[in-house]
Amino acid sequence: MLPAFTPRPNPHRLPARLTTAASLVALLAGCALGPDFFAPAAPDTKGYTEDGIPKTKMADAKEKEQRFVLGKKITGDWWQLFHAPRLNAVLEQAIAGNQTLVAARASLAQSFEVVAQAKGILYPQLDFSVGATRQVESEALLDLPGRTPPFNIFTVGRP
């Protein structure tokens, strides 16, 4: 009868097993602990309210009051209504460079392409090169009698 074989624990695998066990316990404990979350109740309003337009007066506001005026004509330079000098400067520069509709469309297409090019850095990059060379060494250089045969060098990898 053969003696029973009892495997010895591998001391190199013990830290990996302990790390795996600790990670599993932490994962399961994280799912079990925590406050009891609940979804908030939906508002009672199912559509537009009958109260009409909300109050537009704000405390400590620079303007008297904001108003909704339906059907009012807006001027061609609507951005002037915001009283923002930087916005005015940007839009005046854009209008000066785009006097025609064709120029405006070309400028807009160019700006879309510039944004697409800038986003390209966010994607993974891949470089690859392949090369092959054939070489013959001089017999005098190697101090070998007779003719040395040619040899090939093949390279595959990153440039």
78-95: pLDDT as tens digits: 888 888 999 999 888 888
pLDDT greater than 70 at residue 11: no
Higher pLDDT, 129 or 139: 129
Token readout for 25 is: 């316990």
Token reading at 62: 């620079």
Whole-number percent of the chain with pLDDT over 70: 69
Distance between CA atoms of 157 and 126, rounded to whole angstroms?
Answer: 11
b/e 57-96 (16+ beta carbons within 10 angstroms → b): eeeeeeeeeeeeeeeeeeeeeeeeeeeeeeeeeeeeeeee
CB-CB contact of 145 with 139 (8 Å): yes
pLDDT at 3: 61
pLDDT digits (tens, 9 = 90+) for 16-64: 788 888 888 887 776 665 667 777 787 776 666 666 656 666 667 676 6
Q: Residue 21: its pLDDT value, please?
A: 87
**Lowest-confidence segment of 46-50, 103-107, 109-113 by average pLDDT:** 46-50
- Confirm whether pTM is higher than 0.85: no
Structure tokens at 90: 């940007």
Hey, what amino acid is at 55?
Answer: K
pLDDT computed for residue 23 by the predictor: 86
Q: Is 87 helix (H, G, I), strand (E, B) or coil?
A: helix
Tokens representing residue 118 in the block: 């800038």
Across-strand partners of 132? 154
> Which residue pairs from 138-141 have beta carbons closer than 8 angstroms and sit at least 24 positions apart in sequence?
none
